[in-house]
Structures are given as structure tokens and as C-alpha cells.
């Protein structure tokens, strides 16, 4: 059997993801060859993400290699994968999600609430920045930080910051779980869209690879992140806008008694129907955290529906939640956020 060529970024965390995917595929009898691909986000480690000027800084080169047939499969941290669909590619599988929460890391303080006014808190995320500014009412000095996880932790250990917020999934995957002092929990702190989940991307017409990757898919995670990504796409915010979202899927059973006039009513058994409920928590902030909108949307459906029907329900739930936020007043906020973001990225600079 010809090995699948699996494209990945060369960072330690990306390689963990690639190695996990390779091991999972090979456990199912699918040989894998890992191909390392450098991206814009890997090459420029000094600029803040917003100043890199475009979405997909960690994914575009990998997706290009996939389209050109240089690799057969790409593994992404799903929170880095833009929601815009690319002709010829498909998100084929999303494995079981790891811990989606953000983690508080500090050598001086045990919890977020112990931070005094003026404390310097580092984060690589505009969403976390807004959440922190809102939680502290602007009292904390929230600063951006770039670099891989090890680099960021070293800056914390060198005393550049009093505390740092990182994704718990990344810390755990790289063996730094012991650095976590406590977790940032709902409802105030929702994660990034897709946080903690991996996305396995293939060419849309590559039926063989699609079939070989399919066993790694987890329905609950897939439907949850589809709802989150649909929300993000509808808001047209991209990964640089302060949006938090979390989809969760739960199951229940419903018992319906047989009709009393049924001929076999004496021996008929109750009908047991399995139901699923998809919930989506969503929030959006201004960059300074002073303005925020949030909502919770749910949809219950028959577990026997087809995959395509369930996926449509998930995407519709995301669109509905986004519309609720817009109706609350988030449309003006989104426009302002995008204007500020573009100015910071230099996209609105005057032309000479």
C-alpha cells in the first residue's frame, strides 16, 4: 500500500499533531509519510499575528501543496484553519477534541483573580486580550506575545510577564500540563473556534484518501466545530476578531408508547427514539473588551438522520447564533473591529 503523504508545519506542536495522526492511521493499517512545510506564520516569529496581514498564515502553503498533489493529506490545528471554503479541498475528518479551555500560567499567582491592577499578562490571541480586559475592567496590562510554546514560557520564566494565557490542549500535548495553574471557564471565557480540535483536510475528489481517513472522524466534535465555524463565517470575522464559541453535542432517549388501537397492543413494546441536542455558546467583544454580545443556541434532532442532514443542522445553528448576535447590535461592532484590524495590519495605509 502506498503511504499517505501527510503535510504539516515543522513546529513542535504541529509535529505532535502530525505524529498523532500518523499513529492513528497506521493503527488502522494505513502507512504514512510526514512532509514538513514551512508557512508564513513559521517564518515570521516576531510580528504579532494581526500584523502578518492575512488569514491562513499557518495553512496556505500546506493547502497549496495539497491542491498541487505534493501531499495527500493535511493536518491543521482547527483554530488556525480559515473558514472560507477552497475549491478542490474538503475538511474530511475531525478527531475527538482535546481540552478546549484556555489555561492560566504564572510563577507568582495561583489564579486569574489574584492578579493585581497593573499585572502584565501575555497572550497571542486578540480574543483572550478582549476577555482579559473585560474581566479586569482594563486594570491589567495585556500584551501580545509570539513564538512557540517553549519560547513563550521562557519569556514568562525570565520575568517579562506576571502571567500568561495559553491553550491547555497545546500545553498538554507538549508535556507542559503541570504548568497550568487553573482553567478559564465558561461563560466568561469561551475558546477560539475549533480550539483543541484537529482538522484533517484532503482533496475533494480523492476518494481513496477520504476513505482511509474516515475512521478517525468523531461525530460529536465534527458537528460542534461545524456550528462554530459557521458562526465565524457568518460574522465574517476571521480568526483575528475577538470571537469565542463552543459547540457541544449531547444525547438522550425518548420513549413513545404504542398506539392503543394497534392490533398487537397487548404485546407491543414502547418505541425508543434516540435524540441529539447541539448547543452553541457564542460571544463577540470589542478589542478593548468594553463592549460584548453573547448568546446560546440549541437544536434537537433525530440521531438517525443522515450525516449530511446533521451537518446542515450544525451549520444552520451557527448561522442562527451569528444572526442573533448581529440583531443584538454586533453588526456595528464587527464593522469597527474589521476596520481597526485592517489598520493595524497596514491594509488601509495610503498609497503613494
Q: Which residues are catalytic?
A: 80
- Cβ atoms of 233 and 83 within 8 Å: the answer is yes
First vs last C-alpha separation in the chain:
57
**Cell of residue 66, nine digits:** 495539497
Sheet holding 120-123, edge to edge: 141-144, 120-123, 163-167, 102-105, 182-184
Which phi and psi angles does 266 have, rounded to 5°? -65, -30
Return all residues near 58 (Cβ < 8 A) that are at least 6 apart. 9, 39, 40, 41, 42, 76, 77, 80
- Cβ atoms of 296 and 281 within 8 Å: the answer is yes
- Give the position of cell 471554503: 85
Residues forming a β-bridge with 201: 74, 91
Angle at 163 between CA 157 and CA 166, to 5 degrees: 95
Give the separation between CA 30 and CA 121, rounded to whole angstroms.
Answer: 44
Work out the number of other CB atoms within 10 angstroms of the CB of residue 302: 12
Q: Could you please report the per-residue DSSP string of 78-91?
A: GGGS-SS--TTEEE
- Cβ atoms of 80 and 58 within 8 Å: the answer is yes
* Of 309, 320, 250, residue with least CA distance to 278: 250
Amino acid at each position: 500500500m502506498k503511504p499517505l503523504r501527510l503535510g504539516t508545519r515543522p513546529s513542535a506542536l504541529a509535529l505532535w499533531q502530525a505524529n498523532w495522526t500518523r499513529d492513528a492511521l497506521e493503527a488502522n493499517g494505513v502507512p504514512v509519510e510526514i512532509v514538513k512545510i514551512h508557512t508564513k506564520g513559521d517564518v515570521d516569529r516576531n510580528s504579532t499575528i494581526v500584523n502578518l496581514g492575512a488569514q491562513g498564515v499557518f495553512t496556505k502553503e500546506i493547502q497549496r501543496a495539497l491542491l498541487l498533489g505534493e501531499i495527500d493529506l493535511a493536518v491543521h490545528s482547527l483554530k488556525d484553519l480559515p473558514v472560507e471554503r477552497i475549491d478542490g479541498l474538503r475538511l474530511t475528518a475531525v478527531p475527538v477534541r482535546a481540552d478546549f479551555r484556555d489555561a492560566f500560567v504564572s510563577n507568582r499567582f495561583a489564579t486569574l483573580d489574584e492578579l493585581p491592577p497593573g499585572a502584565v499578562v501575555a497572550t497571542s490571541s486578540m480574543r483572550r486580550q478582549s476577555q482579559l480586559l473585560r474581566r479586569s475592567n482594563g486594570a491589567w496590562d495585556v500584551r501580545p506575545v509570539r513564538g512557540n510554546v517553549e519560547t513563550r514560557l521562557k519569556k514568562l520564566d525570565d520575568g517579562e510577564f506576571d502571567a500568561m494565557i495559553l491553550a491547555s490542549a497545546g500545553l498538554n500535548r507538549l508535556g507542559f500540563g503541570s504548568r497550568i495553574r487553573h482553567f478559564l471557564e465558561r461563560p466568561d471565557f469561551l475558546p477560539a473556534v475549533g480550539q483543541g480540535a484537529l482538522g484533517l483536510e484532503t482533496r475533494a475528489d480523492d476518494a481513496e484518501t477520504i476513505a482511509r481517513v474516515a475512521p478517525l472522524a468523531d461525530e460529536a466534535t465534527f458537528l460542534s466545530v461545524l456550528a462554530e465555524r459557521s458562526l465565524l463565517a457568518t460574522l465574517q470575522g476571521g480568526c483575528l476578531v475577538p470571537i469565542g464559541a463552543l459547540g457541544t453535542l449531547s444525547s438522550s432517549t425518548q420513549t413513545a408508547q404504542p398506539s392503543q388501537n394497534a392490533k398487537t397492543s397487548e404485546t407491543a413494546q414502547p418505541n425508543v427514539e434516540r435524540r441529539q441536542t447541539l448547543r452553541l455558546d457564542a460571544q463577540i467583544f470589542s478589542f478593548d473588551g468594553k463592549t460584548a454580545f453573547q448568546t446560546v443556541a440549541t437544536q434537537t434532532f433525530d440521531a438517525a438522520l443522515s450525516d449530511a442532514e446533521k451537518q446542515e443542522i450544525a451549520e444552520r445553528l451557527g448561522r442562527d447564533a451569528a444572526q442573533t448576535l448581529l440583531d443584538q447590535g454586533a453588526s456595528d461592532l464587527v464593522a469597527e473591529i474589521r476596520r481597526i484590524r485592517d489598520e493595524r495590519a497596514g491594509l488601509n495605509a495610503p498609497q503613494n
